[in-house]
A and B are shown apart, each in its own frame.
Chain A
Amino acid sequence: MGKPSDLVQGTLDLLILKTISTDPKHGWAIAKRIQQISREVLQVQQGSLYPALHRLELRGWIKSKSGETETGRHARFYSLTAAGRVQLEKETANWDRLSSAIDLVVQTA
């Protein structure tokens, strides 16, 4: 496990949106899931996570609701809105374009 790399703000938004696109999660679960799926490469600190979550909620792409976890604790669950779904597709397309462009440069230049 290398040192966790810093995430650009835009890509964090993309990751969060993707993570909650399947089902609603609370903040801790989102961070854990991202860490899990990326095989421990991407570790989101709460210092970046919560401001990002609130920012996304302000933009109207996610909405939050109080709920209970499996263990019966109160937590705040975040889910995708319709506008959020659209945004997710847009950002995914953007990321594909960007990453393939970078690949091209790195491999051929």
Chain B
Amino acid sequence: MSWTHSFWLRLQSLFLRSRIPQRLDDEFQFHLEQQIAENIAAGMSPDEARYAAMRIFGNTTFLREQTRDNWSWMWLENLFRDLRYAARTLSRTPGFAVVAILVIALGTGASIALFAVVRSVLLKPLPFRDPSRLMRLYEHSPDGRFPYNSSAAGVYAQWQQQNTGFSDLAVLTNGFQHYGLSGTGGQLPERVRASECSWDLFPTLGVTPALGRVFTSADDQPSANATVLLSWSLWKRRFGGDPSILNQSIHLDAKPYTVIGVMPPWFAYPAAGVQVWTPVHHEESPNRWQELDNHRFIVVGRLKPGISPAVATQELSLITRRLHDGHLDNPLISTAANSRPLLEAIVGDIKTPLYVLFAATGCLLLIGCLNVASLLVARGAARRKELAVRAALGGSRWRLLSEQLTETFLLSLAGGAAGLAFAFAAIRWFVATRQDISRVEAIRIDPIVVAFAAGVILLCAVFAGVMSSFSLQGDQVLSSLQESSRSHSAGRSQVKMRKWLLALEVGLTVVLLIGAGLMLKSYQRLRSANLGSITQNVLTMHLDLPGAKYSQPIQRLGFFEALLERVRSLPGVQSAGFTTSVPGEGYPGDRVFVIQEHPPLPIGQSQYVVDYWVDPGYFEALGIPLLRGQTFDQNQRLDKTNEVIISNSFARQYFGDEDPLGKHLLANGGRPYKIVGIVGDTRVEIAEPVLPIFYFPLYSGAERGTVLTVRSRQDVTSLALPIQQIVQELDAELPVSDILTMDQIIGKSTLDASFNATLLLAFAVLSLVLAAVGLFGVLSYIVGQRTSEIGIRIAIGAQRGEVLRLMLSDGLRPASIGLLLGLAGGVAASQNIRDLLYDTQPLDPSVFAGVAMLLLAVACMACLLPAWRASRLDPIRALRNE
């Protein structure tokens, strides 16, 4: 009761401000009058009485203040007053305020944005039930080349039957398959990314659908009716978000599938682009589950409670080993199993680049803080006299300090708020640009990011506050008042502090510059790596012939030939060809072979090499040079195909100095193929070393998924529409997808490298500008401080050039210290980005030397103007102002 009563009184004092003082005045007045009356009653005259009473009374003002201190919210009033003053002082120097706020906003915004990305992608657990128990299982290839290989269906089947460590083991394809979704109701056919999965995938992950139901074991049989699950985005986009789609059928690859459910919007496994899921046992032929060597599948499992991952994996390894030993004639069966936590499996390869970017934003934030601190120290130094006067008038150190602290807090809060807004925009831009990152759909600002943001802003504020408080020298009141504004001894400690701040800033800038230089060099090397084919003005598009309509090889052949004939006759088309995959698109798959003329391989060994299926005109279309021999003969069609073409590295690796032409390879089930030509090497992926490749005739009709490549002399993108029309005329239901030029394909595969390099470069340039401005500011300040000294020097005979050199060296010294610090830091930091560099050493001397020279040049330029001004000082004027 008493607490509420007093609180009520205090509240009153806040809002009815005049009441309390008024009341006090009345009481004092009354008391005084009573005392006077008493004095008069004791016999004094009225005047005497009054004086005596007032003498006893004492200092009413002090009393009033003391009493009022009990009542009112002094600290709140003080805070408001300080805020008002701070805002007013800052608005008087808008340039400083704007610059400081911008710098803080940039630093905090970048780090908050990247923290949001790092947290959402790398740190936040997967959105599944009990995600720490989920593992991805791999096979370890027998030759050790692929320790984290996809699994074969037959091996999975044995794992599932025999294992005891996992409560669920599900299998799925990797989401790079496609179905042709037939057009309905006027919509064009579309190629959708799909994943076939076992019925227990969703229970294993612990995911329930947004609509309808997921697969049951009854759906996952070869004899069941075809069912399909839609992704949320496909449902919204293509089917209008209409719930009546349930139990309707859609046509995939010209076959009807019943829609039984829609997945929630956040679900994106195995990849963000997967639009439909179908039951794997229904889609794959039953023979698959006997295959022990066709590594196409992803296996995920949920550990039983209490079982450790190592033990469970070991058991799977044993099962795999037993399979291998039981089928020694098949050299492709793996010898062991491997596992990784599911989160790591999904995001493992973008960990390093994201952490590098995060560290870079940390550097930027630190540089921004140092810069603002330096500005604040300068500002504090400029107000020394004002503070000295106020201290002399009785202001306590705390009062003066709290006012400066309020100013820095206000700056930091404003900068932090602007930084948050900037972070919002930056996150949205990041998500839009980097759709290729796994888990990009999970990037959002959650409470932990907000807490981090608050922490970062607070850190900035505290740092700035501590720095600005150093500039306060309460005990030197007298000297501050006495000195003239140009005395040399003034502010020496402030200059030293600014120099140190600047050295640190330059050091961090150099680290960023080195990182940016290395990444840029790596990206440039990557981009200019020779793919082996012509990449200018080459258009590609994916055409997947549906199995239902093109079940016979002769149907496929008919389509290829018809399309090629019409495309080649289009005006503007220089050449065109078909392939199963283009260079730079990624690992397309491999095939086992044996060289007929060579001695047989020992049991348990095999050789396999990347394979492409191409039409005879493909090499010319893509500009792959035919080094020896010739391309496929025209009679290579259907089951009469018996020719193969090999790449240069294939010839070197498997034939050495022998002449490969005319020899035979046995492949595709022991069929003989004669080597008729050797072509130049192409890269499967631009960042990977060259692999041996062999090419089979597409006209055998064995393959359905193809890529049409078209080369033109002028702008090839103008041909996209006419070619699509031709495809439509030949087959109205055939979807065309991934229409990209070769340059765009290379751009996509180098997106990570180019993004990182560009961002790092932007950070480095920004910090270089900040450091240069800081250097300029410090040296100008020093020159101002030493004006009289310079005047004396010039007056007693120093040359202008000597003065220039003196000032330059004074300014370049912190820059050089910073450079040395930064080079040392750069050596350490570059070790961490070793994994991201392509064809570039972390300790690349040209990069380090270039950065050092750039920094010295910029530092010289920044110092030149103040030093030149110093050398041009008129000694008379300088000394007169003493």
Contact = CB atoms under 8 A, between A and B. Distances in A.
B30 A27 contact: yes
B58 A74 contact: no
Nearest to B62: A47
B5 interface: yes
Interface in B20-51: 23-24, 26-28, 30-31, 33-35
A26 B2 contact: no
A54 B71 contact: yes
Contact of B30 (A26, A51, A83): A26
10 contacts: A27-B31, A28-B31, A28-B35, A47-B58, A50-B27, A54-B70, A60-B2, A60-B3, A75-B27, A81-B5
A46 B6 contact: no
B795 interface: no
A58 B6 CA distance: 5
Main secondary structure of the interface of A (DSSP, over half): helix
A97 interface: no
A81 B33 CA distance: 28
B57 interface: yes
B9 interface: yes
B34 A28 contact: yes
Contacts of A55: 70
Contacts of A75: 26-27, 30
A30 to B, nearest CB: 10
Given A51-B70, A57-B9, A46 B30 contact: no
Taking each of A45, A46, A51, A74, which has the highest tally of chain B beta carbons within 10 Å of its own beta carbon?
A46
A108 to B, nearest CB: 40
Contacts of A90: none
B824 interface: no
Interface string A48-79: 00110011011111010000000001111000
B1 interface: yes
A61 B2 CA distance: 7
Taking each of A26, A47, A75, A81, which has the highest tally of chain B beta carbons within 10 Å of its own beta carbon?
A47
Contacts of A54: 67, 70-71
Nearest to A47: B58
Interface residues of B, number: 25
B66 interface: yes
B19 to A, nearest CB: 12
A50 B6 contact: no
Given A27-B27, A28-B35, A46-B58, 9 more contacts: A45-B56, A46-B56, A46-B57, A46-B63, A50-B27, A54-B70, A63-B5, A73-B33, A75-B27
A73 B2 contact: no
B27 A76 contact: yes
A74 B26 contact: yes
Nearest to A63: B5
A82 B1 CA distance: 10
B16 to A, nearest CB: 15
Interface of A: 26-28, 31, 45-47, 50-51, 54-55, 57-61, 63, 73-76, 81-83
Main secondary structure of the interface of B (DSSP, over half): helix
A60 B9 CA distance: 10
B67 A51 contact: yes
A44 B67 CA distance: 16
Interface of B: 1-3, 5-6, 9-10, 23-24, 26-28, 30-31, 33-35, 56-58, 63, 66-67, 70-71
Contacts of A57: 6, 9
Contacts of B33: 73
B2 A81 contact: yes
A50 B56 contact: no
Given A45-B58, A46-B57, A83-B2, A58 B70 contact: yes
Contacts of A76: 23, 26-27, 30
Given A58-B70, A59-B2, A60-B6, A50 B34 contact: no
Given A51-B63, A54-B70, A58-B70, A46 B31 contact: yes
A74 B30 CA distance: 8
A28 B6 contact: no
Contacts of B9: 57-58
A25 B830 CA distance: 82
Nearest to B24: A50
A105 B2 CA distance: 37
Nearest to B34: A28
Contacts of A81: 2, 5
Nearest to A57: B9
Contacts of A61: 2
Contacts of A50: 24, 27-28, 63, 67
Contacts of B24: 50
B26 A46 contact: no
A45 B31 CA distance: 11
Nearest to B35: A28
Ranked 4 nearest A-B pairs via Cβ: A60-B2, A28-B34, A60-B5, A58-B6
A26 B33 CA distance: 13
B50 to A, nearest CB: 15
Contacts of A51: 63, 66-67, 70
Contacts of A63: 5
Contacts of A60: 1-3, 5-6
A61 B696 CA distance: 101
A74 B29 CA distance: 11
A27 B30 CA distance: 9
Contacts of B66: 51
Contacts of B35: 28
A58 B71 contact: yes
Nearest to A58: B6
Contacts of B10: 58
A27 B57 CA distance: 14
B72 to A, nearest CB: 11
Contact of B6 (A26, A59, A74): A59
Nearest to A29: B34
A64 to B, nearest CB: 8
A26 B23 CA distance: 13
A101 B3 CA distance: 33
Contacts of B2: 59-61, 81, 83
B162 to A, nearest CB: 78
Contacts of B56: 45-46
Nearest to B58: A47
Contacts of B71: 54, 58
Nearest to A61: B2
A35 B3 CA distance: 32
Contacts of A45: 56, 58
A6 B56 CA distance: 15
A85 B27 CA distance: 24
A74 B31 CA distance: 11
A101 B70 CA distance: 33
Contacts of B31: 27-28, 31, 46
A2 B9 CA distance: 39
A28 B30 contact: yes
Contacts of B23: 76
Nearest to A83: B2
A84 to B, nearest CB: 9
B736 to A, nearest CB: 82
A49 B34 CA distance: 15
